[in-house]
């Protein structure tokens, strides 16, 4: 199936036939109507996707690592724990259009488009 044409997502969708039953309701002579009913039970192993939306390009991804060893559950830990490490990733592009990982040489993030051949600047704290 061509599930999401906008992004070219083509997947095989398995259909499993679980059972087949038939029912014949003919009772009478040749002048009466005969009804044959076939019931097919199957399982479709498909996918459910939300709507396709246009949105801004993600130009910064950050991840924080917490020390949760002193807390009794994750809800308590995330609300009260200190960040022990952080990683930020953003695109890097030189003025001539070449990719870079040097944050001091890159053009502004606002000037980098999704189709540019950019590099990645990784900042760890």
Per-residue pLDDT 10s for the chain (125 aa) are 787 788 788 888 899 999 999 988 777 777 777 788 899 999 988 877 777 778 787 889 999 887 766 666 655 555 556 778 899 999 999 999 999 999 999 999 889 888 899 999 999 98
Domain ranges of the chain: 2-44, 61-124
* Dihedral over Cα of 73, 75, 77, 80: its sign: negative
What is the tens place of the pLDDT at every residue in 42-71? 998 887 777 777 878 788 999 988 776 666
CA atoms within 13 A on the CB side of 26: 10
For residue 81, give the DSSP letter. P
Q: How far apart are CA 114 and CA 89, in angstroms?
A: 15
Q: How far apart are CA 29 and CA 38, in angstroms?
A: 22
């Amino acid at each position: 199936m061509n599930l999401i044409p906008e992004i070219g997502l083509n997947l095989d969708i398995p259909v499993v036939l679980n059972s087949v039953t038939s029912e014949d309701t003919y009772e009478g002579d040749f002048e009466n109507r005969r009804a044959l009913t076939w019931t097919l039970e199957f399982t479709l192993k498909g996918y459910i996707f939300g709507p396709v939306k246009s949105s801004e390009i993600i130009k910064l991804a950050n991840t924080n690592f917490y020390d949760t060893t002193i807390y009794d559950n994750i809800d308590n830990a995330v609300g009260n724990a200190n960040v022990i490490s952080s990683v930020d990733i953003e695109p890097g592009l030189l003025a001539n259009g070449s990719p870079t990982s040097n944050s001091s040489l890159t053009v502004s993030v606002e000037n980098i488009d999704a189709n540019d051949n950019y590099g990645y600047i990784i900042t760890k704290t």
